Amino acid sequence: MDTQKMVRLSVMVALATVLSILENQLPIPRPLWLKLGLANIMTLLALIMYDIRAAMTVACIRSLLAGIFGSLPMLAFSFPAAITSSFTMGLLYRILGKRFSIIGLSISGAVIHNLTQLLIAYLILNLSYSSILTLSSFLILTALGGGIITGLIARYIIRIIPELC
């Protein structure tokens, strides 16, 4: 790995960690357990700038750091979701290329992220089927909203700093 790539990825991990901790304090009216997923902006940028490995590295290290500095018990939820969502986005980007815009990628990542966490909640709590149905419908809609917002921000960043890609 060349030095520039290493430095860039480190900065992205740092920014993603800060975003992920900071967005819990944002005064946005929302249910407590919902997040916009702002840290995913950095995963998206790493994917567009480099590749799936860079994206997964940023997502996983960010998740671990945010767990250590935020709430450690929630790592059981955030870490697997970071792996599956970054992997999905990377895979879709590799297969579909430009046919999916960064917003499509962001939405896919958000949906997979939420459904992974639902699966973990199912494993821990043995959720009832009606709960799974209610939650999955709700989580798909919120992932759509969050995915569009983070995708738009990532696109805006690429637009104002085109040298990134």
Residues making contact with other proteins (CB under 8 A): 31-33, 71, 73, 77, 96, 98-101, 103-104, 107-108, 111, 121, 124-128, 130-131, 133-134, 136-138, 140-141, 143-144, 148, 155
Name which of 98 and 165 has its Cβ closer to other proteins. Answer: 98
Least separation, in Å, of the C-beta of 11 and other proteins? Answer: 27
Nearer to other proteins, 6 or 141 (CB): 141
- Identity of residue 37: G
Instruction: Provide, rounded to whole angstroms, the least separation between the CB of residue 4 and other proteins.
Output: 29
Three-state helix/strand/coil letters over the chain: CCHHHHHHHHHHHHHHHHHHHHCCCCCCCCCCCCCCCCCHHHHHHHHHHCCHHHHHHHHHHHHHHHHHHCCHHHHHHHHHHHHHHHHHHHHHHHHHHHHCCHHHHHHHHHHHHHHHHHHHHHHHHCCCHHHHHHHHHHHHHHHHHHHHHHHHHHHHHHHHCHHHC
Nearest to other proteins of 3, 126 (CB atom)? 126
Q: What is the closest distance, in whole angstroms, from the C-beta atom of residue 86 to other proteins in the complex? A: 18
Shortest CB 48 distance to other proteins, Å: 14
Q: Which is nearer to other proteins, 51 or 155 (CB)?
A: 155
CA distances from 85 to 16, 24, 161 (A): 15, 20, 25
Q: Which is nearer to other proteins, 87 or 138 (CB)?
A: 138
